[in-house]
Amino acid sequence: MSSKTIALTFDDLPHPLYTPLLLDLLHREGVRATLFVIGRNALAYPYFVRDMVLEGHELGNHSYTHQRFLTLNLATIQGEVLRTNAVLQRLSGQSIHLIRPPGGRLNSSISRELRDLGMDVVFWTDDPGDYLRFKPETLEARLETRFKPGAIVLLHDNVPETLETLPQFLRYVRARGFSVGSVSALFASPAPVHKP
């Protein structure tokens, strides 16, 4: 893992109004992020999922109905995960192995079930609470004060203040010599350099 990289992640996609704005912003900024997609939303707006793939973003599973896993039995959780994976794989042509459970809470039984399904759970290290709809300057300050090397930043696509704040945050990060990418990019090991 590179200490000069952070991962940008977004939950709850796609949203019919905000996802196109987010994808356009990320395109203009040259950022490829990890996007955690709700299965029923993907089914309702399949063209946005295809756009995510065309833009080179990494897709993750965020359940089918966005119910908290701790409130569900294991059979229902399995259905939520497999149904979402099937939708995303059909739309993207990619195998889905990343998952972020809604609310980010699990117990050992659920963790084991997800592992048995071949899923890698992705939490976060930096949650500025954008869903609380802070003013852009407050959200920017929360992002900057929580920023650290190797961070996995949790944001949402359906928060206008996030879209307004993101370019300033990216400038802040890049001015400090950091690159911004997906979760997989964060954990990719750089190839060793051998000199003769």
- Write the DSSP string, 118-181: TPEE---SB---GGG---HHHHHHHHHHH--TT-EEEEETT-HHHHHHHHHHHHHHHHTT-EEE
Catalytic residue among 15, 57, 62, 156: 156
CA angle (184, 186, 192) in 5-degree steps: 100
Residues 83, 79: Cα–Cα separation, whole Å: 6
Q: Catalytic site residue 194?
A: no
Cα angle 61-65-70, degrees, rounded to a multiple of 5? 85
Q: Is 11 a catalytic residue?
A: yes
Catalytic positions: 11, 156
